A and B are shown apart, each in its own frame.
Chain A
Amino acid sequence: MKLEIGNIHVKELAFGENTALSSGRVQINREELAGWIRELDHRIAEVKLDIALPGESTRIMPVKDVIEARCKAEGKGFMFPGRNPGDEAMVGEGRTHVLKGMAIVTTGKVVGFQEGIIDMSGPGAEYTPFSKTQNLVITCEVDDTCNQYDHEAILRRVGIETANRIGQLAMTATADETRTYETKPLIQQAAEYPNLPKVGYVYMLQSQGLMHDTYLYGVDVKTILPTLLYPTEVMDGAIMSGNCVSACDKNPSIVHQNSPVIHELYENHGIKYNFMGVIITNENVTLADKERSSNYVAKLAVQMGLDAVIISEEGFGNPDADLVMNCRKLEEAGIKTVLLTDEYAGQNGESQSLADSTPKGDAVITNGNANQVIHLPAMQRLIGHDTYADMIAGGWDGSLQADGSITAEIQVITGATNELGYHNLCAMAG
């Protein structure tokens, strides 16, 4: 598959009379878009739109998903395919336009205990990659006929559909930069660089139930067996997030769209190694599923003739077992591994960090200790609801102080310890 990505740099995001893109300015008709969102589901009770810009004294919480607005300018398929009848075409080929520098963020009352915080300035902003994007924030509430599953599904749909709608603005725009990514069918790809080692990417996805699910072409990944993807498919939304628990190390949809390991692997493709493709796998809760999926991953990697892989985890604790099984079984099959994880080492960093272990895991990248405590000063503007600070994962009784400041673990910050290596937080022995 060959995909051209055309980035249109968004220099300004603002509300205005009509919804349009011109000279890098994305303008949104607030009333019209809010009305359109409300029509997406009859159980939506309230929709509010805000714009949150980098450097502002603004807090967004509880954050459910962050999505990049893209559209298919040429080629088959739709962004985030497989959700609606008629959208089943494979994606990852042709040309995709991206509104770079802005994001759609969804918030609203909590579904579980798990959603995150984005601060647009202050100490918290350093820990979230989404303080650097110009955010169109949708605060969406549902009526009381919805159970938790309905609530999550509606909010997920609202974010994705809005991103796709805004993405349409980029259809005929001229890209500021274009980059082409290509991965060939296995046999041809292997033949292209016969003297280079063959590498792959084992892409682990959360699949533990409500607020812990991920979708591949619209299919809940807890129901899949591990499978193969061309790396470009994710750039068109083949993977959609349905989880934000704990917010620090779950992958919002924008992280899948810009999947960091895939982009970094392409950098040395054909020079240091031959990047053959992606193995998608899940993180189910039962031991039998973990054994089956990790066996299947090792089998696919051998079948692809891989010499080495990068394995990224999503989440912590229970999925540590999946990470360790994947590592051990791949190494036993003679395939070298590098692991990406994060740590739960206690608030002072005094504890061991993982819930499972293997001596074969000798090459580990850590994306930081999620238990580190941070003080987030009050912000002038709050989008969403801060009353949940005491109960979200990483907060405690008393996290929210009377002045509006929050003391909590960085677990509460969306993307803080992202395990796809989306940003720079790391931990060391000190």
Chain B
Amino acid sequence: MTIRVVHYINQFFGQKGGEEAANLPIELADGPVGPGAALQAALTGKAEIVKTIICGDSYFNENEGLACMGIREILQDIKPDLIIAGPAFNAGRYGMACGKVGEVAHGLGIPVISGMYNENPGYELYRNFSYIVETTNSAAGMRQAIPAMAKLVTAWIEKEGKLGTPAEEGYMPRGLRVNFFAEERGAKRAVNMLIAKLEGTPFQTEYEMPVFDRVAPQPAILDLSTATIALVTSGGVVPKCNPNRIESSSASKYGEYSIGGLECLCEATHETAHGGYDPVACNKDPNRVLPVDVLRDLEREGRIGKLHDKFYTTVGNGTSVANSKAFGAEIAMHLKNAGVSAAILTST
């Protein structure tokens, strides 16, 4: 059985012209075009390039939304098993387009195999979405790139999409953690690693410890009595019944809720959606996670200017750092736009 492939290339490899044709909108051609011919030859009997998408690099990058919509429609129509994009070598705009095609296809659940130079910004920005073979920095390396990409496509077909590590298969790391079932259970692997460490023989850690961002604090607020203070929590405090259905773990969203006019939170009005700590105390007195009562006291005493009338909340439990960073950036923007001077972040 042969799988059905769509190939994405730019105007130059699509034989439409050089820079003067870079504004070419999306065109769809039957069968392989340009480097697709050599790819098709290398994949005979395993894969068939049914269509080739050709698009000008400038057009794609200057009309990204439109281009992505066009690509999505084509892919939804053709429903290929796999997409091959490029190779783009070190061509920046071409690499960005191939990377973006990877992102669109990923959203549709279609895998993408591409080829790029390791410094192409398309790799750096979109590596999460495609298997990208490392190429030389110019098209002079086409003769090595095509067999390398064909080899990865072949492996992908033979292993039914379950590719091994970047080193085993010859693609550049995608920056992803991928689950698999190991031959030995974790406890046995731990003992083997312990023995290697004791004996001073080489071993490979299964997870490299992460390096964290450090955020420099803002300068101190000199006069709190005129400051607007906001409350932000990862402790999952939400209005009763969790109206936006923030997940109890691995949150995909955060909530913005009003506390305007509320003197404090209480059992009848608020609760926690968090699944990662004993919720009983918080549900009984949600102020202990989101201290509205104390902030109102401070407001009354004139020690702070005012409490911001909205609070932001999410569930920290099992929520990926990537999601948390995105929530943080958006919440900070909301607070800044509302003229908030400082925020108190409570965790659990």
Binding site for B on A (CB under 8 A): 112-114, 126, 147-149, 197, 199, 208-212, 245-246, 260-261, 263-265, 267-268, 272-273, 285, 307-308, 310, 312, 316-318, 336, 338, 340-341, 343-354, 357-359, 361-372, 390-397, 409-411, 418-430
In the complex, which of the residues B193, B209, B318 contacts A361, with contact meaning CB atoms closer than 8 Å? B209
**Contact of B276 with A317 in the complex, beta carbons under 8 Å:** yes
* B159-204 residues at the A interface, CB under 8 angstroms: 163, 165-166, 173-191, 193-195, 197-199, 203
Q: CB distance B190 to A350 under 8 Å?
A: no
B50 to chain A, nearest CB (A): 27
The 3 A-B residue pairs with the shortest CB-CB distance in the complex, in nearest-first order: A421-B186, A209-B278, A421-B187
Q: Check A353 against B210 for contact (C-beta < 8 Å).
A: yes
- Nearest CB of A to B203, in Å: 7
Alpha-carbon distance between A394 and B320 when the two chains are bound, in angstroms:
12
Write the chain B residue with the least CB distance to A126.
B181
Shortest beta-carbon distance, B124 to chain A, in Å? 14
Q: Which residues of B contact A345 (CB under 8 A)?
A: 176-177, 320
Minimal beta-carbon separation of B16 from chain A (angstroms): 34
Q: Name the residue on B nearest A394 (C-beta).
A: B249
**B222 within 8 Å of A (CB atoms):** no
* B137 interface residue (CB < 8 Å to A): no
On whether the beta carbons of B212 and A428 are closer than 8 Å, the reply is no
Bound state CA distance, A71 and B206, in angstroms? Answer: 38
Q: How many residues of B contact A (CB 8 A)?
A: 59
Complex interface: chain A residues within 8 A of B252 (CB) = 396
A393 to B319, CA, bound (A): 11
**Which of B191, B203, B209 has its CB near the most chain A CB atoms (within 10 A)?**
B191
Alpha-carbon distance A410/B179, docked complex (angstroms):
11
Residue of A nearest to B190 (CB): A365
Cβ B177 vs Cβ A261 within 8 A: no
What's the least CB distance linking A42 to chain B, in Å?
A: 23
Closest to A245 in B: B275
Contact A430–B317 (Cβ < 8 Å): no
Is A426 touching B206 in the complex (CB atoms < 8 A)? yes
Q: Nearest-CB distance from B214 to chain A (Å)? A: 12
Q: Measured between alpha carbons, how far is A394 from B206 in the docked complex, in Å?
A: 24
- Report if A409-B187 is in contact (Cβ < 8 Å); known contacts: A114-B275, A429-B166, A429-B176: no
B residues apposed to A, CB below 8 Å: 128, 163, 165-166, 173-191, 193-195, 197-199, 203, 205-212, 245, 247-250, 252, 275-280, 316-323, 348
Contact between chains at A425 and B198 (CB < 8 Å): no
Which chain B positions have C-beta within 8 A of A352?
Answer: 210, 321-322
- Neighbouring A residues of B190 by C-beta, 8 Å: 261, 264, 310, 312, 338, 340, 365, 421
**B207 pairs with A427, CB closer than 8 A:** yes
A430 touches B176 (CB 8 A): yes
User: For A393, what are the chain B residues with a Cβ–Cβ distance below 8 Å?
Assistant: 248-250, 275-276, 317-318
CB-defined contacts of A423 to chain B, threshold 8 Å: 185-186
Cα separation A356 to B201 with both chains bound (whole Å): 27
Residues of B within 8 A of A312 (CB): 190
Contacts of A396 in B (CB 8 A): 245, 247, 250, 252
Known contacts A264-B190, A367-B186; A430 and B250 CB within 8 A of each other: no
Contact of A428 among B180, B210, B280 (CB under 8 A): B180
- A344–B186 alpha-carbon span in the complex (Å): 17
A260-B318 contact, Cβ under 8 Å, with A308-B197, A364-B206: no
Contact B206 A149, beta carbon cutoff 8 Å: no
22 contacts between A and B (CB under 8 A): A112-B279, A338-B193, A338-B194, A346-B320, A350-B320, A351-B321, A353-B177, A353-B207, A362-B209, A365-B193, A367-B186, A396-B250, A422-B186, A425-B180, A426-B181, A426-B182, A426-B186, A426-B189, A428-B177, A429-B166, A429-B176, A430-B173
- Within the complex, the shortest CB–CB distance from B207 to chain A, in Å, comes to 4
In the complex, A343 Cα to B209 Cα: how many Å? 11
In the complex the two chains form, what is the Cα distance from A396 to B321 in whole Å? 18
Residues of A within 8 A of B165 (CB): 428-430
A393–B206 CA distance with the chains assembled, in angstroms: 25
* CB < 8 Å neighbour of A409 from B181, B250, B279, B323: B250
> Do A263 and B187 form a contact, CB below 8 Å, given A112-B275, A428-B178?
yes
B199 proximity list for chain A (CB < 8 A): 272
Contact B197 A336 (CB under 8 A): yes
Residue from the set B165, B166, B177, B189 with the largest chain A CB neighbour count within 10 Å: B177
- Taken together as a complex, chains A and B put the C-alpha atoms of A318 and B317 apart, in Å, by 9
Q: Decide: A365 and B318 in contact? CB cutoff 8 A.
A: no
Q: How far is the CA of A285 from the CA of B316 in the complex (A)?
A: 14
Q: Chain B nearest CB: distance from A195 CB in Å?
A: 13
Would you call A394 and B250 a contact (CB within 8 A)? yes
Q: Are A209 and B210 in contact (CB under 8 A)?
A: no
- How far apart sit A428 and B250, CA to CA, in the bound complex (Å)? 20
Please give me the residue from chain A that is nearest to B273 by CB atom. A113
Q: Which B residues are in CB contact (< 8 Å) with A267?
A: 191
Q: Assess the A426–B198 pair: CB atoms within 8 A.
A: no
Q: Which of A211, A343, A422 contacts B207 (CB 8 A)?
A: A343
| Contact A260–B207 (Cβ < 8 Å) | no
| Contact residues in B for A112 (Cβ distance below 8 Å) | 275, 279
Complex Cα distance, B163 from A263, in Å, reads 33
- Least CB distance from B158 to A in Å reads 17
Out of A113, A340, A344, A425, name the residue touching B320 (CB < 8 Å). Answer: A344
